[in-house]
Amino acid sequence: MEDNYKIKVYQPSQKSSWDSFVKEAKNSTFLFQRDFMDYHSDRFQDHSLLVHKAEKLVAVLPANISGSELHSHQGLSYGGLVLGKKITFEETLQIFKSLLAFLKSEDIKVLKLKLLPRIYHQLPSDEIDYLLFLVKASLIRRDVTSCVFNENPIKIASSNRLRGIKKGEKNKLQIKEEANFKPFWNEVLEPNLKQVHNQKPVHSLEEIELLQSRFPKNIKQFNVYKNGEIVAGTTIFETATVAHAQYISANEIGRQTGGLDFLFNHLLQHFSHRKQFDFGISNEAQGMKVNKGLLNWKETFGGRSITHDFYEIKTENHQLLNDVFI
């Protein structure tokens, strides 16, 4: 292990320094702040790591531990090694080598990383992609997520989408941004997920309300109403570069009246100041299958695919980073 770098397991007393670092990092979002990460601390054994060089915090890894495996946090949509803006490639290599060597010394045999998609990067941050190649990491899952690039948007040309938007106008649907999540959760999202997929949302109503109270500028709810009754909605997670649709749902009336077409036509304009609008993944079966209908709906709004990758690394392979430079 490089003597210059010290790895420590996160402790609650370090919350302030962790959050300050994450807010200024080049490849992070509000999901990495402790007030977001810790809302489900009862479900995961947190084992996040801090990397210091001469007492200065230079990187963090949001993570939880399970047996002899460390996961870049399973309670988050994405993760990976979070780096400061001034970090160089050589420093990143030494940090990653030190981190793997530390895990090996702690009898953690495998590190599983689900990377932060590039659209969330505020500066180029692909150092880890190259280092994963060097340590012979295994790609264990790859999803496709559909994004609208607002700097070069594709005009909506689908007759189905245009028809849905006109339906919404004809039915005099109303869109409201609200701080109240109850109507969408109780009357649309939960009933719809139970009926169609026999599932529940990842976040309970109480959890999303808690998170929104902590991050009111980042978590937003947009609902669609017909004659005062909610028919559709979406929950948006907004970061420095991306507006991401975390939940999308409509009831039967919403589907009949073009509720979601009407809503997302509005939202693409509303969030045009962000570099990307992310509709989210269309995958099932751990990335091996694609929901064709869902993907098509996103693509007719101009969404195009980027990948979201998951890797498995043997910690013993830290030695493969010893002689990289010539």
Q: Which of 8-22, 137-151, 188-202 shows the lowest per-residue confidence on average (mean pLDDT)? A: 188-202
- Proportion of the chain above pLDDT 90, given as a percent: 94
Predicted pLDDT of residue 3: 61
**For residue 248, is it within any domain?**
yes
- pTM metric for this prediction: 0.94
- Three-state DSSP at 294 gives helix
* Cα–Cα distance measured from residue 51 to residue 162, given in angstroms and rounded to the nearest whole number: 51
Do 122 and 14 belong to one domain?
A: yes
User: Is 326 inside any structural domain?
Assistant: no
Same domain, 137 and 165: no
- Examine residue 298 and state whether it is found in any structural domain, yes or no: no
Task: Tell me the pLDDT tens digit for each residue of 255-286.
Answer: 999 999 999 999 999 999 999 999 999 999 99
Residues in the chain: 326
Would 281 be classed as within a structural domain? no
Confidence of residue 90 (pLDDT cuts 50, 70, 90): very high
Same-domain pairing of 166 and 251: yes
If asked whether residues 15 and 116 sit together in one domain, one would say yes
Instruction: Kindly state whether residue 211 falls inside one of the protein's structural domains.
Output: yes
- In the chain, the number of structural domains is 2
**184 and 313 assigned to the same domain:** no
Task: Please say if the pLDDT value at position 1 is more than 70.
Answer: no
Same domain (yes/no): 58, 132: yes
For the chain, state the CA radius of gyration. Answer: 21
| Residues 126, 203 within the same domain | no
Q: Is residue 108 domain-shared with residue 224, that is, in the same domain?
A: no
CATH of the domain at 28: 3.40.630.30
Whether residues 74 and 168 fall in one domain: no
Same domain, 207 and 249: yes
Q: Quick one: 200 and 225 in the same domain?
A: yes
Name the residue range of residue 135's domain: 5-143+309-321
In a domain, 264, yes or no: yes
Q: Is residue 20 part of a domain?
A: yes
Query: Does residue 117 share a domain with residue 21?
Result: yes
83, part of any domain: yes
3-state SS string over the chain?
CCCCEEEEECCHHHHHHHHHHHHHCCCCCHHHCHHHHHHHCCCCCECCEEEEECCEEEEEECEEEECCEEEECCCCCCECCEECCCCCHHHHHHHHHHHHHHHHHCCCCEEEEEECCHHHCCCCCCHHHHHHHHCCCEEEEEEEEEEEECCCCCCCCCHHHHHHHHHHHHCCCEEEEECCCHHHHHHHHHHHHHHHHCCCCCCCHHHHHHHHHHCCCCEEEEEEEECCEEEEEEEEEECCCEEEEEEEEECHHHHHCCHHHHHHHHHHHHCCCCCEEEEEECEECCCCEECHHHHHHHHCCCCEEEEEEEEEEEHHHHHHHCCCCC
In angstroms, the CA 285 to CA 71 distance is 19
